């Protein structure tokens, strides 16, 4: 039977998960980390944008493989091997990847993206197993760490590029740190004992309960549900807005008139808001329920896209700051909603695999980011990309109104 010590242990495991996610989220700092590659003549802006798309794609594939690896070799060795793969990808990127786009795709996108994707799902599913009574909050806090990485490690990397450590030394330091942190986490983050009894889930009076049968859906059953695909497409549309802006946030700030240092800082601000959005969304999901949270996220994304489009049209740096903050918060809603929605609608038993399938929305959204990059090149401005993103956010709002039961 459970002990108070077992219950208290979950907060230490959550803390370890947040720390690990902080390092794993470095792949979202691509708008900063791509700077040295952009200086090489062999890399075009389209090639660098495609690297982000491929990174997100292999991140999703890694997540899908994660639950199977956990069953085959256990949680510890899955997380440990993921850390080695991700770290090695970063170490090799400035050595091999600098030779051309294909080499960069193999080292950064395939190796690091795959490794971080494997660790991401293994950590979230294991840590969330300790919080069946607070799914939204647990997911939000974990993903806050993932989202905050750009501010902490992205800005640190930008400063280290200009020191004696340089481009190669900085990437090597990131790779080693990533490997060490994830490896240490593999010894701390464990599944709860089978006989552990957790506190009952507390529903606040303001929470909206939905009337449907609660049961565990196998992955095959989940993907046959039309509701799942409506939610999936809505998440693609929501995620596409933040994913696209993140991929060119620094360049966008420079376009509107920000100084180089401020442009880099604004990427970090977007990251902070991203992390903040994840925590807020988790708390709102637990307090207000699924429907309120998903519709509110869609409304926020529409407002974020509108605000940033106004900044582009007027050239207002102040409005852009507001737009980036709103975009960061709205982007932070997507991963938390994905995790909490999957758990609430399709159960905990097959959660790891179901979540990895749901997270393929990141892959689809990353292709929108590539499309926005091409629109930017062809149109010569940011208006066309943001019109596309605004249309997608509107589509997500309409879809979310139609989601009622699994």
Checking if the pLDDT of 6 tops 70, the result is no
Containing 358, the helix (H) or strand (E) segment is helix 351-358
The per-residue pLDDT for range 327-386, each reduced to its tens digit, is 989 988 888 888 888 888 898 788 888 888 998 888 888 888 888 888 888 888 899 999
- Asked whether residue 208 is domain-assigned, the answer is no
- Asked whether residue 253 is domain-assigned, the answer is yes
Side-chain half-sphere CA neighbours of 23 within 13 A: 27
- Asked whether residue 349 is domain-assigned, the answer is yes
- Asked whether residue 239 is domain-assigned, the answer is yes
pLDDT of 395 reads 93
The per-residue pLDDT for range 15-45, each reduced to its tens digit, is 999 999 999 988 878 878 888 888 876 788 7
pLDDT band at 199 (very low <50, low <70, confident <90, very high): low
- The count of structural domains within the chain is 1
pLDDT of 348 reads 78
Checking if the pLDDT of 2 tops 60, the result is no
**Radius of gyration in angstroms for the set of CA atoms belonging to the chain, rounded to a whole number:** 20
Domain span at 244: 4-195+216-401
Q: Looking at the chain, how many residues does it have?
A: 406
The per-residue pLDDT for range 57-85, each reduced to its tens digit, is 899 899 889 988 988 999 999 999 999 99
- Asked whether residue 201 is domain-assigned, the answer is no
CATH no. for residue 244?
1.20.1250.20
pLDDT of 1 reads 46
pLDDT band at 91 (very low <50, low <70, confident <90, very high): very high
Using a pLDDT cut of 70, give the percent of the chain over it: 93
The per-residue pLDDT for range 304-340, each reduced to its tens digit, is 999 999 999 999 999 999 999 999 899 888 888 888 8
- Asked whether residue 206 is domain-assigned, the answer is no
Burial of 75 (0-12, 13-18, 19+ CB in 10 A): buried
Q: Dig out the tokens for 35 from the structure.
A: 């700077």
- Asked whether residue 384 is domain-assigned, the answer is yes
Using a pLDDT cut of 90, give the percent of the chain over it: 36
Average pLDDT, the chain: 86
- Asked whether residue 211 is domain-assigned, the answer is no
The per-residue pLDDT for range 107-146, each reduced to its tens digit, is 999 999 999 999 998 998 888 888 877 766 777 788 778 8
């Amino acid at each position: 039977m459970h002990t108070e010590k077992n219950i208290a242990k979950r907060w230490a495991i959550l803390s370890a998960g947040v720390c690990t996610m902080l390092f794993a989220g470095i792949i979202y700092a691509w708008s900063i980390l791509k700077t040295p590659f952009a200086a090489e003549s062999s890399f075009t802006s389209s090639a660098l944008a495609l690297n982000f798309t491929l990174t997100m794609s292999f991140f999703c594939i890694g997540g899908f493989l994660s639950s199977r690896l956990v069953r085959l070799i256990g949680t510890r060795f899955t997380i440990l091997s993921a850390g080695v793969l991700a770290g090695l990808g970063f170490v090799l990127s400035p050595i091999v990847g600098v030779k051309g786009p294909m080499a960069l795709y193999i080292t950064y996108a395939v190796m690091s993206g795959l490794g971080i994707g494997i660790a991401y799902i293994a950590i979230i599913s294991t840590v969330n197993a300790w919080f069946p009574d607070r799914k939204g909050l647990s997911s939000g806090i974990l993903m806050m760490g993932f989202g905050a990485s750009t501010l902490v490690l992205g800005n640190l990397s930008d400063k280290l590029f200009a020191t004696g450590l340089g481009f190669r030394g900085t990437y090597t330091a990131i790779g080693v740190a990533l490997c060490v942190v994830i490896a240490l986490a593999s010894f701390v983050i464990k599944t709860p004992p089978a006989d552990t009894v957790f506190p009952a889930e507390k529903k606040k009076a303001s929470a909206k309960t939905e009337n449907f049968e609660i049961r565990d859906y196998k992955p095959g059953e989940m993907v046959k549900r039309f509701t799942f695909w409506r939610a999936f497409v809505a998440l693609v549309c929501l995620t596409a807005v933040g994913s696209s802006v993140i991929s060119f946030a620094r360049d966008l700030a420079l376009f509107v008139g920000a100084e180089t240092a401020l442009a880099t800082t604004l990427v970090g601000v977007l990251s902070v808001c991203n992390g903040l959005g994840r925590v807020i969304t988790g708390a709102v999901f637990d307090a207000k329920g699924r429907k309120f949270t998903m519709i509110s996220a869609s409304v926020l994304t529409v407002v974020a896209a509108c605000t940033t489009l106004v900044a582009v049209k007027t050239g207002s740096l102040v409005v852009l700051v507001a737009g980036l903050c709103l975009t960061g918060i709205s982007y932070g809603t997507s991963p938390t909603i994905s995790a909490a929605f999957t758990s609430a609608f399709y159960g905990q038993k097959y959660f790891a695999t179901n979540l990895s399938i749901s997270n393929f929305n990141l892959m689809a959204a990353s292709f929108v980011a590539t499309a926005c990059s091409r629109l930017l090149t062809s149109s010569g401005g940011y208006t066309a990309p943001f019109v596309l993103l605004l249309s997608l956010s509107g589509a997500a709002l309409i879809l979310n109104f139609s989601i009622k039961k699994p």
